[in-house]
Structure 1
């Protein structure tokens, strides 16, 4: 082959490449066929597996979206099993492996700050997922967590009706190391304060259902079961432990939750839990994955992907996308968790719940 012919071929290839870049510039999502995707290496760090959402929904949704946008991307997955120390070590491992972006759902938003700073110093971007980690985070996606608490508080008041002023409620606010828990709590208090008497209020480290069960049993002993008219639970995991304690005491009072776990939907059908709050996982996961791939390819995040900003606990302004949560009760299960693809009717309506499903119009 002559030098002239080789030069013409090279020029044609370069021209085609430039045209491809021009054609895709300004797009919200990365071009799945771009040459840069071979350099896309993303670390996905989730906090635990006790809550069913992380392994069943968040991880597969995020990984699928990354692969859709960048088929050749390398994804390194880590689960911290509720240990803040383990998660810090996992960040170190991800940096050593050469991950360019971390999608991070922090076990402890404060203690992870030094790891986030270490990532920044190494030129690695961090997308805070579901919980806002402290430190120089590059982007954040979650739900409006104060709104979650407001919806829970209103649902509890609605369920109490005239009983709101005739007794006391017990509040279970979740893990003190989770910044979302503080927002749920603030939202709930903004609705409940002055309208109900709060007899007992608890934080529950690591969102442990067993601890919630013990706390609820202690509240029943301290206050008397005839005095308790309702229970605020910040999520469905806690609600599971609380419901067991209520049943053991022969009680059935309004009980809130969050995350739309399968067992919570089934408790709602049986009437042992009043509502849950659904935060559809796929939209949140898709946004996190899209943020991460853009950042890994060296692209700025478009405005419609980060329409707002939030301030982290350490004072940083973080580009953010906050989605809207939805209350799920017995009347709208089909139009929420079933329609959104979280569960099929068959998964919900096992023989134990068949009669309740029929009453709710699911079968």
Structure 2
């Protein structure tokens, strides 16, 4: 793996990259995933690289429609504007579009960006493209989702997803009290670091092991509401004992709740989640979900952009994992757990 770059590319190197982009940019841009303009929002200036700009930051998100990534893109644009930099925002066409992200990275390198911020669709499938970018002198920072291995990028700015999962697990365990847990797990996408860390963190918070008989069943949902509803329906058919549900994110929680409601068991099952979107906080306020763990995508984007600007200006490169925080949100506080209520959550949510 290429080591972290300690100094910024020279102007001549960036100019040579731009000349290369002039020859291949149209094709690469066609292969790269959608920009923020394609989703009907965002500033046109954020989607077009300026050859003469002092600092250019590339942002590659998993999709351009998920509210989490919309907030990330908006925050990145604000940070770039404040720092006098230009933002080029690209995205995968769908959650899991690794090939689209590879094409986007190649596009950005050809345009001569100083740094790339990426939320990897695949924690390992993107590694070759990242290595090529770093070999070309581009700073690469992972946002939200760590690569595997983590040192494949220069630095990561993200939620500590093990902590987030653990907070969900601790709250669910406390909410059950003396009642023995019978847990259904609505997981995300196999192999993703976010999915793995949250899953493992939840089990730690609950005091369970992977093969614990308290786990009634596990289903992968890709974090999708419709898939989660179908998965929860299957789990409810298999077991009438379920009294707690782990969810990878709030769309999965929403799908799980609908299945539980349809089964007439909404007052019998405790649901926990992670995200911190405004709709997710409202679900907690409405009693559909017992608690959620708020993430801060705007912090990830802001700090990432600022790091690229600093690198471009004086060669200072960030390193390691940088925790952007997690906050338990619930209207049912539990002893020993730091939490905020949904009023605070509505004031600090995203989406």
Superposed pair shares fold, TM > 0.5: yes
Q: Give the whole-Å Cα distance in 1 for the aligned partners of 2:253 and 2:347.
A: 24
- CA offset digits 1:114-171 (Å, max 9, x no partner): 11011012211101111112463111111221111110001111111222x1x51101
Cα distance, 1:196 vs structure 2: 7.5
92, 102, 113: which is aligned to 2:106? 92
Runs of 4+ in 1 over 6 A off after TM superposition: none
157, 170, 184: which is aligned to 1:141? 157
Deviates further, 323-332 or 92-101? 323-332
Q: Which residue number corresponds to residue 168 of structure 2?
A: 152
Contact residue 116 and residue 138 of structure 2 kept, 8 A: yes
286, 295, 302: which is aligned to 1:286? 302
37, 50, 53: which is aligned to 1:38? 53
Contact residue 43 and residue 75 of structure 1 kept, 8 A: yes
Contact residue 278 and residue 349 of structure 2 kept, 8 A: no
Deviates further, 131-140 or 177-186? 131-140
Q: Give the whole-Å Cα distance in 2 for the aligned partners of 1:283 and 1:146.
A: 18
Q: Which residue number corresponds to residue 221 of structure 1?
A: 237
- Unaligned 5+ segments in structure 2 are 1-51, 333-339
Contact residue 39 and residue 297 of structure 1 kept, 8 A: no
Deviates further, 175-184 or 98-107? 175-184
| Residues 150 and 255 (structure 1), Cα distance of their counterparts in 2 relative to 1, 3 Å cut | same
- Between the two proteins, the alignment pairs up a number of residues equal to 284
Q: Which residue number corresponds to residue 212 of structure 1?
A: 228
Q: Give the whole-Å Cα distance in 1 for the aligned partners of 2:245 and 2:138.
A: 43
Q: Give the whole-Å Cα distance in 1 for the aligned partners of 2:285 and 2:292.
A: 12
Matched, 1:75 2:87: yes
Q: Secondary structure of 2:156's partner? A: strand
| Residues 285 and 145 (structure 1), Cα distance of their counterparts in 2 relative to 1, 3 Å cut | same
Cα distance, 1:326 vs structure 2: 0.7
| Residues 283 and 130 (structure 1), Cα distance of their counterparts in 2 relative to 1, 3 Å cut | same
Cα distance, 1:339 vs structure 2: 3.8
Contact residue 176 and residue 204 of structure 1 kept, 8 A: no
Matched, 1:118 2:132: yes
| Residues 270 and 277 (structure 1), Cα distance of their counterparts in 2 relative to 1, 3 Å cut | same
TM-score, structure 2 normalization: 0.75
Aligned pairs (5 A) from 1:173-252: 173-192=187-206, 193=208, 197-205=214-222, 207-224=223-240, 227-252=241-266
277, 283, 296: which is aligned to 1:267? 283
312, 324, 344: which is aligned to 1:336? 344
Q: Which residue number corresponds to residue 122 of structure 2?
A: 108
Q: Secondary structure of 1:255's partner? A: strand
Alpha-carbon RMSD across the aligned residues, in angstroms, is 2.1
Aligned pairs (5 A) from 1:2-81: 38-55=53-70, 57-70=71-84, 73-80=85-92, 81=94
Contact residue 171 and residue 233 of structure 1 kept, 8 A: yes
